[in-house]
Amino acid sequence: MQEILSFPKNAQKEAPVLEEIYNRKSLRAYSTMPLAKETIQSLFEAARWAPSSSNEQPWVYIYATADQTELYQKIANTLVEANHVWAKRAPLLVMAMIRTTFVRNGKPNVSAKYDLGAANAFLSLQATKLGLNVHQMGGFEKEKAIANLNIPNTHEPVVVLAIGYPDSPEILSDNLKERELAPRERYTQEAFVMNQAFSV
């Protein structure tokens, strides 16, 4: 199979998709404008309807708005500096985690992270529909998250989400501004879609 790095990238649609899918981005420039309670509920309602193994719905979220200073800082302070420097402006931070075992029998749920990804995708598309930006971050300190939020050993923190309305890239440092304004790129379908088995 051709090496992945040799496949082209572009930002053009190769087939029709929902506008929310095409318009979704992971921006870093956030307005500090707060989100209405109903808007926040709408995001988690979208996550609620995501598919999951055995309908287990293993996702769990702890969220804090910027005016909930203590809880907000408990989440924000888990971020590595490269993320904290811009994410601290987002009016909503979310610690996304999984229940590591099935509720019905206590066995390990090896699909839990996959299912959380689906829930986060639904949440992100709902956010795009509402004019919001979601940036998911794996760059956080897991042990600090567990300590700060008293997360039990039945749960595992996976990503932090920064959510809010976009602001001008001009508020960012030069290096982040450059990344914010860079053209979007996606591998073309030939890089990841096959209509045959792998060749020997």
**Per-residue confidence (pLDDT) for residue 72, from 0 to 100:** 98
Q: Please check whether residue 138 is in contact with residue 80, taking contact to mean a CB–CB distance below 8 angstroms.
A: no
Report H helices in the chain: 19-23, 37-48, 69-76, 81-87, 112-129, 142-148, 174-181
**Per-residue confidence (pLDDT) for residue 2, from 0 to 100:** 63
The residue among 20, 127, 19, 108 whose CA lies nearest residue 63 is: 127
DSSP lists the bridge partners of residue 9 as 187
* 158 within some domain: yes
Helix, strand counts (H, E) of the chain: 7, 6
**Per-residue confidence (pLDDT) for residue 41, from 0 to 100:** 98
CATH of the domain at 126: 3.40.109.10
User: How many residues make up the chain in this entry?
Assistant: 200
Q: Please check whether residue 163 is in contact with residue 134, taking contact to mean a CB–CB distance below 8 angstroms.
A: yes
Mean pLDDT by 10 residues, the chain (200 residues): 76 95 97 98 98 98 98 98 98 98 97 98 98 98 98 98 98 97 92 92
Q: Which residue has the tokens 């500096």?
A: 81
* 60 within some domain: yes
* 18 within some domain: no
3-state helix, strand, coil in the chain (%, to 5): 40, 20, 40
- Give the count of domains, the chain: 1
* 132 within some domain: yes
* 12 within some domain: no
For residue 105, the tally of other CB atoms under 10 A from its CB is: 8
Helix (H, G, I), strand (E, B) or coil at 151: coil
* 118 within some domain: yes
* 178 within some domain: yes
Return d(Cα 37, Cα 32) in angstroms, integer: 15
**Per-residue confidence (pLDDT) for residue 6, from 0 to 100:** 80
**Per-residue confidence (pLDDT) for residue 11, from 0 to 100:** 87
- The reported pTM is 0.95
**Per-residue confidence (pLDDT) for residue 199, from 0 to 100:** 87
* 163 within some domain: yes
**For residue 78, what are the domain limits?**
26-190
**Per-residue confidence (pLDDT) for residue 40, from 0 to 100:** 98
CB-based contacts of 167, cutoff 8 Å, min separation 6: 29, 30, 31, 89
Q: Please check whether residue 161 is in contact with residue 136, taking contact to mean a CB–CB distance below 8 angstroms.
A: yes
**Per-residue confidence (pLDDT) for residue 142, from 0 to 100:** 98
Q: Please check whether residue 170 is in contact with residue 27, taking contact to mean a CB–CB distance below 8 angstroms.
A: no
Return d(Cα 43, Cα 50) in angstroms, integer: 12
